[in-house]
Structure 1
Amino acid sequence: MSKLLRTILLACLTVGAFSNGALAAASKGGVIDVATIGEPPTLDPMVSSADLVGTISQHIFETLYTFDSQWGLVPLLAQSMPTISPDGKTYLIPLRHGVKFHDGSAMTARDVQASLERWMRIANRGRQTANVVDSLSVPDDFSIKITLKQPYAPLLALLALNNSAAVVLPARLTTQDPLREFIGTGPYRLQAHVTDQYI
């Protein structure tokens, strides 16, 4: 049976199961086949704005914020929405505690700072943001402070997008250009990538 036929059959069976009210218990592990439109040009979500890259990489990497079902901004790696100064130029972002990268290391504000610096250096949206950023600082291990030259309304949305994305990496990887190790905090860890065959 071809992969495409198997995928279509699986989708039909899944729809049938849900329409009959039968819900399977969640299980850890296993394999799911998902077809994409082609080979992504990279798996580094900072350097590409291609939807295909974002669709794949958003499962491996995470951002400080994301969008809910109504396109409202919500925290992801951030603990909560930022405290913004009355003049709109200082954002204090608290970070979640206990977040682990796929290599087992703990995420700290230093990782976030280094990741945002890389994003502002190499990503299209990051370079756009860098023009209005005065400084990035780390008040403590679980907060990041962004000081702007002027108020900048798109900041949080740009930190949430999943392509040309401000993903958080271990600080040690932020000097890689191009990225050679794909270690994030997302629900899926990259096991293998064989060009034009599978990820």
Structure 2
Amino acid sequence: MLLQAVVVFGALGTALAALPTPVTAATARTYLSELTVAAESNVPAYSRDLFKTWDIISGTCDTRETVLKRDGTNVVTDSSCKATAGHWVSPYDAVATTLASDLDIDHLVPLKEAWVSGARLWTDAQREAFANDLTRPQLVAVTDNLNESKGDQDVANWVPPLASYVCTYVRAWVTVKHFYKLSVDSVEKTALQNYLANC
């Protein structure tokens, strides 16, 4: 099943937003050709503390809770906006759960990947905006152990195990890197070209 739709419908027929739609494969190929190819640099050394998460988005709802509500169906939250019930299907592996605690909010382009690709030169505010970006296809609720296995790997070393989602994933990757003017290394660019050729 190809999970590329920007809107899905819940049991009650209400529209529920999903991952913001990445650019088309053709546009992604163009964007990729515009990205700077450069070796990654971890000087100064990456620290997750340099990317503030999670921001309050609305009321008491932070970025994590906002994504959980966006990506789930029939999500119920308590007075502090914590999800207490709902149904989620991780787009990376099609695994379903009714427990929000089983889900991580994945930074599709990992924070460390962003750091070594240019974010080390950003201001704290720019890194915070990147880490909490709900406009680009950068944040998605996924199976927690799968997110842990991904870690900070780029597309040359890791793509979602659900083959039908790989095209969406690489299109999203290029969308995010292009918007933020992040570089790609040569191996990463070759992997992206190969994946996009089949999209």
- Give the shorter-chain TM-score range: 0.3 to 0.5
Higher normalized helix content (fraction of residues): 2
Query: In proportion to residue count, which structure has more strand?
Result: 2
Higher relative contact order (CA 8 A, sep 6+): 2
Q: TM-score, normalised by structure 2?
A: 0.33
